[in-house]
């Protein structure tokens, strides 16, 4: 089940075609080279875990973030059906203003990492990534990326006094590394980050490949009937963008067929106990049908804690070499 980012559904859990209006104040960040505060150089990375030749850690330099952007471009634009802008095609990087504000979780192949020149850091072989935006950063101006497709402000207003939110996005793994070991390591790092930062709720958009609702009618209807967020957690698609996920009655749904039709990432979130927002959104730029994932940490199925630790744990469980 943890091959959540393999095959069709691995692209990103918090990715939109347009930026929310609040990002207008961050226009300077649209050009990555004008990043306002450079990342530190030559510091020890914060390693969350290691299995064999792979380790998971946070990016520590702007150069490492660029490597994650190149990986995202390779997966989203070269392998999948997303259409790049001319600038993205020229740079061969998937990048936007949020990259300068987010933490970037990396899975690195240490056996293929290249040593740096004298005075320069090494050049890691980045084979997997997740982009993370904490609520306290989003609240300083840009807001959450998902707000471009879903009305999440009412949810934040209801819950922010008692819950800390975090948005996930831009998740992908390089094709040769799409196996259980790589994906579990990526999620191990993500779960360690959640515990260290005392996160209560993870949110973000996940995608079905293609924009034909008829192709996804059974899977979307299953999410609507079985995993729609209750009223206290609900988020609705923005007016004019959303379309109903209730495309067929539950009595006509073949549960096994519906699950088989879901991208692995969406199926993984579902099995963890996630809720889904009300309505799907067609993203013509990326050629996808998006759904909003709402995952309260306290609701995650306890069976998975043995892999990633309980919500109250503060010490990272470091994976050992297999």
Q: For residue 274, give the CATH number of its domain.
A: 3.40.630.30
Is the model's pLDDT at 120 over the cut of 80? no
pLDDT of residue 102: 95
Is the model's pLDDT at 163 over the cut of 80? yes
Question: pLDDT digits over 3-46, tens only?
Answer: 333 333 333 333 433 334 333 334 333 334 344 344 443 445 67
pLDDT of residue 116: 62
Is the model's pLDDT at 258 over the cut of 60? yes
**Sign of the CA dihedral 310, 55, 319, 48?**
negative
| Domain that includes residue 251, residue range | 7-308
Number of domains forming the structure of the chain: 1
Say if 2 falls within a structural domain.
no
CA distance 80 to 287: 9
Is the model's pLDDT at 231 over the cut of 50? yes
Say if 316 falls within a structural domain.
no
Higher-pLDDT residue of 18 and 58 is 58
190: closest CA among 132, 134, 146, 138? 132
Q: Is 131 helix (H, G, I), strand (E, B) or coil?
A: strand
Confidence of residue 125 (pLDDT cuts 50, 70, 90): very high
CA distance 317 to 266: 25
Cβ(107)–Cβ(127) below 8 Å: yes
Say if 314 falls within a structural domain.
no
Say if 315 falls within a structural domain.
no
pLDDT of residue 8: 33
262: closest CA among 295, 227, 238? 227
């Amino acid at each position: 089940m943890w091959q959540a980012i393999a095959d069709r559904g691995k692209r990103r859990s918090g990715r939109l075609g347009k930026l929310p209006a609040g990002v207008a104040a961050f226009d300077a960040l649209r050009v990555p080279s004008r990043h306002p505060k450079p990342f530190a150089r030559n510091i020890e990375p914060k390693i969350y875990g290691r299995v064999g030749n792979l380790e998971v850690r946070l990016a520590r330099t702007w150069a490492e973030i660029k490597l994650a952007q190149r990986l995202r471009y390779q997966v989203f634009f070269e392998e999948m059906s997303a259409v790049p802008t001319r600038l993205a095609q020229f740079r061969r990087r998937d990048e936007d203003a949020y990259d300068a504000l987010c933490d970037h979780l990396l899975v690195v192949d240490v056996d293929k990492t290249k040593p740096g020149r004298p005075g320069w850091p090494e050049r890691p072989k980045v084979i997997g990534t997740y982009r993370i935006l904490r609520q306290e950063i989003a609240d300083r101006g840009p807001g959450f990326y998902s707000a471009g497709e879903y009305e999440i402000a009412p949810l934040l207003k209801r819950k922010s006094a008692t819950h800390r939110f975090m948005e996930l996005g831009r998740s992908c793994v390089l094709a040769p590394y799409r196996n259980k070991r790589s994906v579990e390591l990526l999620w191990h790092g993500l779960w360690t980050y959640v515990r260290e930062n005392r996160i209560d709720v993870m949110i973000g958009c996940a995608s079905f490949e293609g924009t034909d609702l008829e192709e996804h009618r059974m899977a979307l209807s299953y999410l609507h009937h079985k995993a729609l967020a209750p009223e206290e957690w609900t988020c609705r698609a923005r007016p004019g963008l959303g379309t109903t996920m209730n495309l067929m009655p539950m009595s006509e749904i073949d549960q096994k067929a519906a699950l088989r039709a879901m991208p692995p990432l969406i199926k993984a979130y579902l099995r963890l106990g996630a809720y889904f927002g009300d309505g799907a959104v067609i993203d013509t730029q990326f050629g996808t049908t998006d759904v909003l994932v709402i995952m309260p940490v306290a609701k995650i199925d306890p069976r998975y804690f043995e892999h990633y630790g309980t919500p109250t744990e503060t010490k990272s469980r470091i994976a050992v070499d297999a």
